[in-house]
Structures are given as structure tokens and as C-alpha cells.
A and B are shown apart, each in its own frame.
Chain A
């Protein structure tokens, strides 16, 4: 039996842990609080922490003036588009690597991983010029393709680590019963792999939603997601802190919530299965 920690020790540790956790969380909290202030209260000195006139005006303003929902829609479309493409190409590949490995499988998986290591800036010039040439700058097609391809290795890896944990015998049994390979994937494998696929989808949505390098460089207005919309607040004349905070809160809320629910599963995908 482990010695039980004494209650007083436990209280002290709780206090210390919460203090540090709160320090890390505070900028987010402060952003959310500021989003409910008037612009005057947002820059008031001394700062107003809780006792000010709480207002929803910024949230109304942000979406009325800046067409917030169009950017939000773009973010959703880009994340889901790239995720769906990733699943279509990634699931069959992960299936093949997990259930019919050849002597090259390991090499191929590591090579896929290495494409993820390539710094985006190394290929910025040709990708930009290619998009320009094919009239794909600032289009959904262009950015979805980039997000899809740059996240594909992570998706395949994550699916692969989940698939590998499914017992082969079940698939063999279904094969004996005469199921075709396609049926095997759709009816036998996929249901068992749902948790793994769901985690993969979540990770990919989070990564696509928060991607900034490509979205800042290859979009402008038409296909610009929320990351770019927020960046437009960086100009000095756009210094409306309350509105910036409201727009930011709306932009990060869905992803922070998704992240909270899936922290543990994300670890596997983020570390390519090295930490579970």
C-alpha cells in the first residue's frame, strides 16, 4: 500500500499547482474578461478586473462590422475539407501498413514522417508561384490541398498506431467469411477503429484551424481563415482591445474546447506514437 499523503500536504500541493496553472491560464482569462468590457474600460488604469459594466456589445460589433462569420466559415471549411481528404487517403494507407506490412513499411512510414519535418519556408517560393500560376492563390482549393498534404503524414501515423492495436484475428475471420477488402475496411475495421479515427480527426481539425504560415501567406480575403482575420488586428489603427478580445475569444473557443476533451488522445498523434 502506498502511504496516504496527509491532507495538509495535499492542500499545500493543491495551492501551489493551482497557482502555477492559473498563471499559465491567466492570459486567456484576461482576454475573455476584456472581451466583455467597453473600449474605455479595456484600457482603464488601474485595470478593472471584475467590477465594470459587463457588455456583449463587442461580440455584436465584431460580427456586424468585420463579417466575422465569413472567416469562421472559411476556417470550418478549410479544416473539414482537409480532414476529409486526409481520411480518404490516410485510412487505406494506414490499414495497409498495419495489417499487411512488408519489409519496406517501416522505411515508408519514417519517410512520410520526414516530409513533415520539411520547413514550410523551404518551399514557400515554388508553392506560391505554382498557386499564382494556376490561379489558386486565396482559394479554398489551394489552401485545402496544402493543409491536407502537410498534415497527411501525421494522420497516417496516428491511424497506424491505432490500427496496429486491433487484433488481426478479427479481420482474418471476416475474410474467411468471404468479406471483400473494401467491406472489411468499412464494416469490420472502421467500427472498431472509431475512437482512433475520431482522435485523428480532432487533431487534424486543431492543427488546420490553428495553422498560420500558409494561411497568412497564400490567402488574402476570399479564403482567409480566422488566423488571418485576427492578424488584421495587428495594424496600429486597429487597436480596439475589447473588440480584438471578443474576436479572439470566438476564434479560439471551439478549438480550446475540443482540446480539453481530447488531451490524452492528442498526445499520441503529436508525438507520432512515441508517447501514449
Chain B
């Protein structure tokens, strides 16, 4: 039993972390909300007049906004589908009785540990460069014209790069979950002569449902904020073709110096992310009961 004295000591130990995180959350967020109501540019007049919802109005009615929302959805959606489907397949493969499982596993999950700028530049140059890149050479082998990825299919190129980083994450999580599937359950199912397909359908898939949900939610949080991959490959272009919401806000703030408009965009991004995080928090919260 926790005594009263223990309780107060515990409060003291937890206080610094709670205080710091409270400041970390409230101060910047409060300032963003405040800035979003001002006519505030880094180059313009030094007086920042209160203009209410105007920044939001301009940010949302700018055609670039709808494009960026669409791009964000396409990027997040495609990468989620590729990484969940591919990651489940890869995890199931690695869970089979194969020789040298450890080495195969290490190779398959390695891309997750590669920093975003490296991943993006290696793909952009060594693979997707239209003259000397490996893909151009492969296309040439088949007599096909090389694809100029970043001119003609920039979004697909970005999706490939990002999916390459996140499929291994899904593999890692799902494989760990698979390996925790009770061995006795596996044996029992085989003893009962369950055909492999129904074993997979009734035992394995339900077991993967929860970790897969966790993967989806965590990836969504990270994918909504994809930045470096776009920053070093396309710079959001050509045109607006690869500008997601994060990149649009970045551009308004640090390229156009429109503090107020960028702040309004930032708040919109926060609202969108919170919708996802509510689900994730619930799911993880259930785990705390046990």
C-alpha cells in the first residue's frame, strides 16, 4: 500500500517531467494560436495587428491548401497500405521455419534505421536519376524509356522512398507479435489437423489485428509530419506536386516569412493529428488496465 508520505514523494519525483512537458506543450501551442490571429510577417511592418480568423481564411482558401491536404492523404494512405500489406507478408515469411532467420530479419528491418536524408538522397540519385540511376539501366535492359521520376512521377517517387523506410517498421512490430503467438496454441491447432489456411485465418490474423492497429496509428502520426524526404528531393515540387501540409507550413514560415499564416496552418495540422492520436491513446490506454 502506498502511504501518504510515499504519495507526496512520488509527486515530487514526477513533478519535473510533468512541469517540463506542460511548458513544452502549452507555451509553443499558445504562441502558435496567438500568432495565427496576427497580421505578422517577418519582413513587413513591425506592428502585428490582431486580425481574427483572417489567416485561417486565407490559408484554407489558398488552392495550395487543398492540394497539400490531398497530397498528405495520398502519401499517408499509400505508405500505410504498402507497409501494412508488405510488412504482414514479410513478417509471415520471416516467421516460417527458414534457414538463417536472424540474418534475413536483420536485412529486412535495416531500412528503418536509415536517417531520412540518407534514404532520400540514395534513392534520388543512385536509383531514380534518369540517366545513370539503376532504374534507368533496368528500364534500358527491357528496352523501355527511363522514367524521369522527379519530373513525371514525383509523388510516386516520394511514396517509394517513404514506404521503403516504414515497411520494415511494420515488419519488425508484426514479427515480434507473431513470435509471441503461443507455441502451444500453434501446436494444438496443428494437432487438431487445422488446415494451414484456416489456422492462418482464425488464429494468426486475429492475433495480428491489434499490433497492426498500433502500427497504423503510429505510422500515421509520423507520416503526417513527413518533411526531410520532400525537403531534399523535390522541395515540394514540381509546382505543388509533392507539397504536403507540413511542407506548406514550413514554406509559409521560413520561405515566405508569413508567421501568421504559417501559424494558422500549424494549428490545422495539430487538429488533424489529434484526431488520429485520440484513437491511438485509447488503444494504448487499454493496455494500462492489465
B162 within 8 A of A: no
Is residue A263 within 8 Å, beta carbon to beta carbon, of the partner chain?
A: yes
Determine the chain B residues whose CB is within 8 A of the CB of A239 once the complex forms: 125
**Does A89 make an interface contact (CB < 8 A)?**
yes
Q: A121-B225, A256-B110 are in contact. Are A209 and B115 (CB under 8 A)?
A: yes
CB contacts (< 8 Å) of B119 on chain A: these are: 27
Query: C-beta contact mask, B154-197 vs A, less than 8 Å → 1, else 0?
Result: 00000000001001110011001100100000110010000000
Which range contains the number of B residues in contact with the other chain?
A: 35 or more
A276-B93 contact given A106-B288, A115-B21, CB 8 Å threshold: no
Residues of B within 8 Å of A47, CB to CB, are 134, 137
B9 touches A181 (CB 8 A): yes
Taken together as a complex, chains A and B put the C-alpha atoms of A127 and B232 apart, in Å, by: 22
User: Per-position contact with B for A202-233: 1 when CB-CB < 8 Å, else 0?
Assistant: 00001001101100110000000011101101
Within the complex, the shortest CB–CB distance from A5 to chain B, in Å, comes to: 5
Nearest A residue (CB) for B94:
A17
Is B113 among interface residues, defined by CB-CB distance under 8 A?
yes
Contact: A14 with B269, CB < 8 Å?
A: no
B75 within 8 A of A: no
Interface presence of A173 (CB below 8 A): no
Answer yes or no: A195 CB below 8 A from chain B CBs. Answer: no
Is B61 at the interface (CB under 8 A from chain A)? Answer: no
- Chain A residue nearest in CB terms to B168: A24
Residues of A within 8 A of B177 (CB): 275
A92 beta carbon closer than 8 Å to chain B: yes
Residue in chain B with minimal CB distance to A211: B115
Residues of B near A213 (CB, < 8 A) are 225, 227-228, 246
Determine the chain A residues whose CB is within 8 A of the CB of B28 once the complex forms: 123, 126-127, 130
Note all chain B residues with C-beta closer than 8 A to A206.
113
Whether the Cβ atoms of A108 and B269 lie closer than 8 Å is no
Query: In whole angstroms, what is the CA distance A231 to B119 when docked?
Result: 10
Q: A24-B110, A30-B126, A122-B29 are in contact. Are A109 and B259 (CB under 8 A)?
A: no
Tell me whether B84 is interfacial, beta carbon within 8 Å.
Answer: no
Quick check: B254 and A122 within 8 Å, CB to CB? no
Residues of chain B contacted by A216 (CB below 8 angstroms): 117, 227-228, 231
A108 and B232 alpha carbons, distance in the complex (Å) = 38
Do B137 and A122 touch (CB < 8 A)? no
Check if A152 sits within 8 Å of B20, measured CB to CB. yes
A22 to B29, Cβ gap below 8 A?
A: no
Contact assessment for A27 and B97 in the assembled complex, using a CB-CB cutoff below 8 Å: no
Known: A96-B10, A263-B172. A230 touches B96 (CB 8 A): no
Classify chain A: how many residues form its interface, as a range: 35 or more
Q: How far is the CB of A246 from chain B (nearest CB, A)?
A: 12
Given the known A-B contacts A92-B14, A210-B113, A212-B117, are A126 and B24 also in contact in the complex, defined by CB atoms under 8 Å?
no
Q: Which of A120, A226, A228 has the most CB of B within 10 A?
A: A120
Apart from A90-B17, A96-B13, A230-B121, 9 more pairs, CB < 8 Å: A3-B190, A13-B96, A100-B2, A119-B225, A149-B20, A231-B231, A234-B124, A260-B110, A274-B214
Listed A/B pairs (28) with beta-carbon separation below 8 Å? A10-B97, A11-B99, A21-B107, A27-B126, A93-B16, A95-B13, A100-B9, A117-B221, A117-B276, A121-B227, A121-B266, A122-B273, A124-B250, A128-B254, A129-B259, A181-B9, A213-B246, A216-B227, A216-B228, A217-B254, A226-B115, A227-B116, A230-B117, A245-B126, A260-B106, A264-B176, A273-B284, A275-B211
Residues of A that sit less than 8 Å from B by CB? 1-3, 5, 10-11, 13-14, 16-18, 20-22, 24-25, 27-28, 30-31, 34, 43, 45-47, 89-90, 92-93, 95-97, 99-102, 106, 108-110, 112-130, 149-150, 152-153, 156, 181, 206, 209-210, 212-213, 216-217, 226-228, 230-231, 233-234, 239, 241, 244-245, 248, 251-252, 255-256, 258-260, 263-264, 266-267, 270-276
Which residues from chain B sit less than 8 Å from chain A, CB to CB? 2, 6-7, 9-11, 13-14, 16-18, 20-21, 24-25, 27-29, 31-32, 35, 89-90, 93-94, 96-101, 104-127, 132, 134, 137, 164, 167-169, 172-173, 176-177, 180, 186-187, 190, 210-211, 214-215, 218, 221, 224-225, 227-228, 231-233, 245-246, 249-250, 253-254, 259, 262-263, 265-267, 269-270, 272-274, 276-277, 280-281, 283-285, 287-288
